[in-house]
Structures are given as C-alpha cells and as structure tokens.
Amino acid sequence: MKKKILYLFSDTGGGHRSAAQAIIRAAEQLKKDAPQQEMVDVFAACSGFLNIFAKMYAPVIKFSPKLWGQLYYWLDDERKLEQLEKLSRPFILKELKKLILARRPDVIVSVHPLVNHLTVRAIRETGLRIPFIVVITDPVTLHRAWVVPEVDRCIVATPAAKKNAVRYGMPERKIRVIGMPIDPKFIQKAAAKAKAKTQAGGKFTILLMGGGEGAGGMGEIIEEFDRTGFDGQLIVVAGRNKQLETKLKARKFSFKMRVLGFTDKVPELMGESDLIITKAGPGTIAEALAMGLPIIITSWLPGQEEGNVEFVVRSNVGRVSQDPHRVVELVREIRTTAEFQEMKENIKKVSRPQAAIDIAREILRFI
C-alpha cells in the first residue's frame, strides 16, 4: 500500500499553503513513486466555529495591522497559549482525531503554529504512532506557539530561528536548520536568469510586489518613480488589488511598465528582474534570495514579520523604508554604488534555494 503524508495548514495568509505545496512538489521530484500527499486546512475541515476566527485574519491585517501585532505579542506567552489550547479543544479535537483515524497517514507535517499542540494531543489520543514534523515558516523570530517539545522533528530556516526554538523549550537534538521551503522551480529559473534578463531588453528592471493583497504603498512608489524620471523599467504585481491594477493600466508613465494581477509566474518575473520592492513576507524574501535579487522592504506585519525585516538588514541583502520618496532614493543609491554587488555576494551566503528538496528528504526519512 502507498505511504501517506498529511500536511496540516490554515489559510491565514498565503505563506503556509505555499510552503506545504513547495514541499509536496519537492517530494515528487525526489521520488518517482512519491507517497500519497494531502493538504488539509485544519480549521476549515475540523471546526466551523474556529474557522470563523481564521477567516478574520485577512481583514484584521488589512484594516488594523496594529491590532494584529498586539494580539501576536499578547499570545506569545506559555500560559496564554495553554489557555487558548484548552478553550479550542472542545471545538476541534474530536474532528481532528476523526481526520487522523480516517486518513491514517504515515507522517503528519504541520506548517502552521496554531495547530501543533492540538495535533500532538490528537495523535496521542488516537493511540496511533505517527511521526509528527513541524516546519516553521518564520525565518528568524518565531512565535512561541510553533514550539511543541513532543514533536519528532522541528525544521527551521536559520540558526537564529533554532536559537529561539531552543529558548522556547524545543530539544536541540530534534531541530534541523534547513531553510525556508520555496517551490523547486525557483532553482530552475535561477539557472535560466541570464537568458530571462536578455529577454527583458537589458534595462535595469525592478519587480514591485505587495503580497496577495497588493499592499505597501505601491501606487505612491510608482508615482515617485515617474516624478523623478526613472530610466529603467518596472514589473508590477498588483495581486488581488483590482482597483490598483485598473488604475495603473489606464495611466501612461515616463518609463516602461508591465502590470499584472494575481499571478503564478513569479519565478519568471524574478528571472527578468534586478531588484525587488516588496512587503516582508517570508516566502517572498526566500524566493527573492534564491533568484539573487537585492530587496527593498516597504511594509511588514507587526510582530509576525518584524524578524524578517531584521534579517534582511542584518544580512545586508536589502534595505528598508516605508517612505515612497526614500524607496526611490534607495534604488538610486544601490544601483550607483558598490552596494549592489555587495548585496548580491551576501545573498549567496544566506540563500537556501534547495530548502524544499532538503526538507522533503528529511520528511521521507520518517517513512
């Protein structure tokens, strides 16, 4: 009978889903007879009540990011997390156990912090012996909710994340520093980057992204490029921000610009680009590094993404500003000094484009 891997995630932001998808594709590349792999949105599948709260994530981070930051820090406490788990248990545990008993996976992998304590309990109460692996998708500073000492393996992106996991009680022997899982196709596109750049016409090209919601003052940054007479070209990914996409497509600018909505062509777009301006999502940062792109970060979520900003600055692979005028100044500074080449050299030191392959290999060892 074919072996099974069950991936647990929640659609609170796109990063968790894409991390699981990256590992699944990597496992398929590693083994022709890859195990059966299934992703389950835990709250949607096991608790209609808790799923209501999960669905509130997107509106809260869009309209009140400060509130999200306060909640993030408030819950970053062992006692509060214990209370949260106790409160959640009646609404999800029974269905989670049913799910595990119905699927009978050979390995369970979590890519979300809020399901780990419950999953450990659910596995124990089923009486089954199923290895449980947690892949932490916060690359540097991680929330305490991620850390459950009873897991069989804890995979982190950086030595700094390992240090934090140990501080929160994860046994060091269970931790592997591997990297942030990104789609394996980024490895292939990185190899073909020189050709993609030729296709882009040789001009200095900036990829401007604001995550799925098209956030981060993108419109104001583009206006500033236009005002200062930018001599390169922009590729703008507006995501689900239809209003921004329509507005930009209707305007004429002093430079060449391509505008896209939500797209699955990010590896190809990064292949054409020299630099990226984006929000501090961990997946986007890892993808940009895999493609050798210096980064300018323009927005981040309080709490959750602050460590990502710190990582970019400390590693000297990019710069940070929320001011559109300063962002354009930074582009000019980076382009016209030795800093651009320095950043590219630093990217080679910290980038782990093979991470999804190595994570999949680690998971397959448990089968």
Condensed to tens digits (0 to 9), the pLDDT of residues 18-53 reads 999 999 999 999 987 889 999 999 888 887 766 666
Are both 168 and 242 inside the same structural domain? no
Are both 288 and 358 inside the same structural domain? no
Nearest CA-CA partner of 249 in 258, 241, 240: 258
Determine the pLDDT at residue 209: 92
CATH number at residue 144: 3.40.50
Nearest CA-CA partner of 96 in 174, 8, 186: 8
Are both 259 and 116 inside the same structural domain? no
Q: The tokens of 136 are what? A: 């932490």
Which range marks the domain in which residue 39 is found?
4-180+354-364
What is the sign of the dihedral through the CA atoms of 193, 195, 196 and 200?
positive
Q: How many CB atoms lie within 10 A of CB 97?
A: 20
pLDDT exceeds 80 at position 195: no
Are both 220 and 113 inside the same structural domain? no
Are both 156 and 94 inside the same structural domain? yes
CATH number at residue 305: 3.40.50.2000
pLDDT exceeds 70 at position 330: yes
Q: Please tell me the distance from the alpha carbon of residue 328 to that of residue 221, in angstroms, as a whole number.
A: 7
Are both 136 and 226 inside the same structural domain? no
Q: The tokens of 177 are what? A: 């520093």
Are both 230 and 126 inside the same structural domain? no
Encode pLDDT of 90-130 as tens digits: 888 899 999 999 999 999 999 999 889 999 999 999 999 99
Could you give the 3-state DSSP secondary structure of residue 312? Answer: helix
Are both 132 and 149 inside the same structural domain? yes
Split into its structural domains, the chain has a count of 2
Are both 270 and 153 inside the same structural domain? no
Q: H or E stretch including 4?
A: strand 4-9
Are both 173 and 102 inside the same structural domain? yes
Are both 61 and 200 inside the same structural domain? no
15, burial (CB in 10 Å: exposed 0-12, middle 13-18, buried 19+)? buried
What is each CA distance from 56 to 11, 18, 51, 147, 300, in whole angstroms?
11, 20, 9, 24, 18
Are both 134 and 262 inside the same structural domain? no
Note the Cα 361 to chain centre separation in Å.
20
pLDDT exceeds 70 at position 200: no
